[in-house]
Structure 1
Amino acid sequence: MADLDPDLLEALQMDDPTGFNKFLGLRYGEISGASVAAELAVTEDHLQPHGIVHGGIYASVVETLPSVGGTVWLGGKGYCVGVHNATDFFRPTRAGATLRAKAVPVHQGKSQQLWRVEIVNDEGKLAAAGELRVHNIYFGEGGS
């Protein structure tokens, strides 16, 4: 992370997370336009009523990592927003566990990118996986 522009880190809320990023609690490791890795310490706040990680948490990780990686890949020319999230859930996870996620691009083009994300549990088994398609929004486009 140290090689990234401090203004970009601030914009991505990675040095001092607020709002949903703070609630989610992702701790980033590798961050580049070619790969993003992060860990999530599962707390009671991440659980649905049956005591397992809520599917929305997994979907949020699938939404977040590619958005970060895609934005970094744009090299300060803009940012990315998710336009399609497809997340599958394979194994339940309970509080006290650590989830590890890694996102890699499948396609990076001028207007959109497609990233694949795998989330594994403490045993290294696939807990969830998904793909996120992001739209590249270049500064000066107005964001619409």
Structure 2
Amino acid sequence: MQLSKEDILVKANASCKNTLMETLSIEIVDYGDDFLIARMPVTPKVHQPDGVLHGGATAALAESVGSFASHIFLDTENLFVRGLEITANHLKSVSEGYVYAKAVFVHKGRTTQLLDIKITDDNNNLVSICKLSTISLPKRNK
């Protein structure tokens, strides 16, 4: 029996219990053959002292969605995925609503991957552009 898209999203979000993703209320909301989208509410919990979205929370959203994309689009039965480097260019402030992170592969190699992650607000305004590189390494036999 093949799972529906809704069932897959429920299962993916359930795997985020007791993680930073749960702490920041990040949820995966959509995916396709070559992308993954997550969202995060912009509340005082993720604000910097002057009331706008903290760049560190934005980077955490980007790394979460990018790493999750690498995890689901690669053979993680035999490999584990780790982030190598993340960059973030913050372009617009947000103080409320949601921000959405869409991760798309630029390069999907056997060992290294590069993802482009665009963060937008509720009105589809570009908030940040992030790049994440990940590495896939073989799991060791126990």
- TM-score, normalised with respect to structure 2: 0.84
CA distance in 2, matches of 1:19, 1:126: 27
C-alpha contact (below 8 Å) 2:116/2:130 kept by paired residues: yes
Deviations 1:101-138 (A, max 9, x none): 10000001111100000011122110111000001122
Match in the other structure for 2:85: 84
Q: How does 1:87-102 map to 2 (within 5 A)?
A: 87-94=88-95, 96-102=96-102
Contact 2:40 2:61 in 1 (8 A): no
The within-5 A match list for 1:1-144 is 2-3=7-8, 9=12, 14-15=13-14, 16-31=16-31, 34-75=34-75, 76-94=77-95, 96-140=96-140
Contact 2:102 2:119 in 1 (8 A): yes
Distance 1:47 1:140, change over 3 A: same
Which 10-residue stretch deviates more, 114-123 or 16-25?
Answer: 16-25
Count of matched residue positions in the alignment of Structure 1 and Structure 2 = 134
For residues 71 and 141 of structure 1, do their structure 2 counterparts lie closer, same or farther at Cα, with a shift above 3 Å needed? farther
The one-letter code of the counterpart of 2:86 is: N
- C-alpha contact 2:36 2:103 (8 A) present in aligned 1: yes
Tell me if the contact between 1:62 and 1:130 (Cα under 8 Å) persists in the aligned partners.
yes
Give ranges in structure 1 of 5+ residues lacking alignment. Answer: none
Residue aligned with 2:58, SS: helix
Residue deviations 1:67-89 (CA, integer Å, cap 9, x gap)? 11111122332221111101110
Per the normalisation by structure 1, the TM-score is: 0.83
User: Contact 1:33–1:70 at 8 Å: present in 2 too?
Assistant: no
Task: Assess if the C-alpha contact under 8 Å between 2:85 and 2:133 holds in 1.
Answer: yes
Structure 2: unaligned runs, 5 residues or longer = none
Q: Supply the RMSD in Å over aligned alpha carbons.
A: 2.0
